[in-house]
Each structure stands twice: as C-alpha cells, then as structure tokens.
C-alpha cells in the first residue's frame, strides 16, 4: 500500500495519514481502498479529500468496508473511496 493523507472536504482540515491502494486506471474517476494510520473518527459516507503520494488530490466519498479488530487495540477499518481528481 502507498502512503497519503486524508482531509475533510468542507474545510480541508487534515485528519490523518493513510495507507491506500488505487483500483483501476481511470483518469477522471478514481476508486480504491484506504486504511487510516491511526485510530480516528471518520464519518461513513462523508466527503473527504485523499492526497496521494504524488500530491494529486481526489475529492471522494468514503464507505466503511469491514472491521479488522486486533486483541487489545481499537478496531481498524478499511474504507472504500470513489471520486474525481480535485
């Protein structure tokens, strides 16, 4: 997975670093999966900006995919995103 950053769309406020993986090779519509580096509050269905490793930005909507609990640690969620380059 590659390393990027997640921002809230409304005020472009930094949320957390992420690990992401893009799906497909589309120039305008981009989709993929991401996992927050740290446990944080991310709204399921919320609008966000994903900043990729090469500094490209994607305005997207996040959907919680599934829970990966680990003993003694808070749950880590994997999110699917789809959106367009910002």
Q: How far apart are CA 49 and CA 62, in angstroms?
A: 10
* Higher pLDDT pick, 25 / 39: 39
Residue 41 structural domain: 2-85
| Number of domains present in the structure of the chain | 1
What is the phi-psi region of residue 7: left when phi exceeds 0, alpha when psi lies from -120 to 50, beta otherwise?
beta
Helices marked H in 1-60: none
pLDDT tens, residue by residue, 31-68: 899 999 887 888 888 899 999 999 999 999 998 876 55
* Higher pLDDT pick, 61 / 73: 61
Q: What are 48's strand-pairing partners?
A: 8, 60
* Higher pLDDT pick, 26 / 34: 34
State the pLDDT at residue 25: 64
């Amino acid at each position: 997975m590659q390393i990027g950053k997640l921002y809230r769309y409304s005020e472009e406020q930094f949320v957390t670093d992420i690990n992401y993986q893009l799906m497909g090779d589309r120039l305008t519509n981009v989709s993929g999966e991401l996992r927050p580096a740290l446990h944080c509050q991310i709204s399921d269905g919320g609008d966000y900006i994903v900043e990729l490793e090469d500094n490209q930005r994607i305005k997207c909507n996040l959907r919680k995919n599934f829970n990966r609990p680990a003993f003694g640690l808070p749950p880590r969620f994997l999110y699917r995103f789809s959106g367009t380059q910002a």
